[in-house]
Amino acid sequence: MRSSREQVLGALAGERLNLVPFIIWDNKLPSPEIEQRLIELGACIIVKSTVWHSHLDGIEVRRDPLPPTADGHARTRTVYRTPAGEVSEIHIRMPGTSWLEKHLFERPDNYDALEFLLQTRRYTPAFDVFRASDNRYPGACLARPVTVHSPMHEVIYEIMGIERFCLEWADNRERVLRLVQLMAADVDRRVQLLAECPAQICVIDGNTEISIVGLSRYREFYLPHIERACRILHAAGKYAGAHLDGNNRLIVNEVAGTALDFIESFTPPPDCDLPLGDARRAWPEKTFMINFPSSLHHQGPVAIRAHTRQLLEESAGDGRRFMVGVMEDVPNRGLDTIVPLAEEVATWKL
């Protein structure tokens, strides 16, 4: 009998399976007991890992703890002191994730320091860390390196934030484009490590909010990165995917034209705007890693079972290129709903 890991790889290869693989990110597992039950049901745990260590040459880095948030989450300010000036960011740490409270870019005199930071950032392999992640649940997991987003995406979301980006795009576009250019070289270094690493799946874009990015900017800045990364990863024998967990209707044709192998965390209505059937018809050669809509977990276990059966009846098709799971946050961490979801998927036969 094939392991759950082998079933996932079979789905990625386009094989016709007699079941629908159930997947869940390791940081979405709500308890050790549920983790064990999911493994018993044949789930494959996607372990988020890394394949590099990052280094900043010629930059002094200082991390200062800050008072926690009102609900008790830890906050840290990281200060980067460069020969061209100082920049800082504030992170809020939460279970399995973190959020930026303050971005690196605050004002136009930060450009020089940020350019220095991007030009001096380098990476060394951490393949031993990744191999350990890939073997955490023998036969029942598949490790996945951290996402490498498009350079424009990283400038918008990691360096500036949406509001500041819009202002700078209007007032200092040449400097913004210079940051994008430097980020592109930084991204290339990371994609090359993805090509060399032991991973079988790599995510090379995602988290795109097209209402913010705009279709013309997506075509100009995002698609070239996706295609370049796909070429490099395919040459190394790896699957390349994008984490498209939002509203995808406006980019359905653009995504259809890419060389992406899989769509991670695709979320159908009622949470997002592109019906699964429409997406599968538009992207027939891409493997879907469906994130079961998080909002439905509010309805409880009985409704979860009914919604799961309906989704599988409508969309599982002939068993090719299709899997279902949990890749986003869910209400109450899914303590009462993740197992019923996985049980319905496990009992579904094609």
pLDDT per residue over 15-72, tens digit each?
Answer: 999 999 999 999 999 999 999 999 999 999 999 999 999 999 999 999 999 999 998 8
Nearest partner of 161 among 176, 148, 146, judged by Cα: 176
* CATH of 4-51+126-347 among 3.40.50.10260, 3.30.70.370, 3.10.270.10, 3.20.20.210: 3.20.20.210
User: 171 in helix, strand or coil?
Assistant: helix
Task: Name the helix (H) or strand (E) containing 184.
Answer: helix 173-196
Share of the chain above pLDDT 70, in %: 100
- List residues bridging with 47 in a β-sheet: 143
Residue 318's pLDDT band, with cuts at 50, 70 and 90, is confident
- The pTM for the full model equals 0.94
**pLDDT at residue 229, as a whole number:** 98
Q: Is the pLDDT of residue 316 over 80?
A: no
Angle at 17 between CA 15 and CA 21, to 5 degrees: 105
pLDDT interval class at 110 (50, 70, 90)? very high
In this prediction, residue 160 carries a pLDDT of 96
Give residue 157's identity as a one-letter amino acid code.
Y
Cβ-proximal residues to 32 (8 Å cutoff; 6+ apart), any chain: none
Per-domain residue ranges of the chain? 4-51+126-347, 55-106
Which residues lie closer than 8 Å to 243 by C-beta, 6 or more apart? Answer: 147, 203, 205, 206, 207, 264, 265
- The mean pLDDT of the chain is 95
Q: What is the pLDDT of residue 99?
A: 87
Q: In 3D, which of 276, 112, 125, 274 has the Cα closest to residue 208?
A: 274
Contact assessment for residue 274 and residue 247, using Cβ atoms and an 8 Å cutoff: yes
* Beta bridge partner(s), residue 324: 22, 290
pLDDT at 203: 98
> Binning pLDDT at 50, 70 and 90, where does residue 319 land?
confident
Residue type, 108: P
Residue 1 confidence (pLDDT) = 80
110: three-class secondary structure by DSSP: helix
What is the percentage of the chain residues whose pLDDT exceeds 90?
A: 92
Q: Which residue, 232, 140, 224, 245, is CA-closest to 194?
A: 232
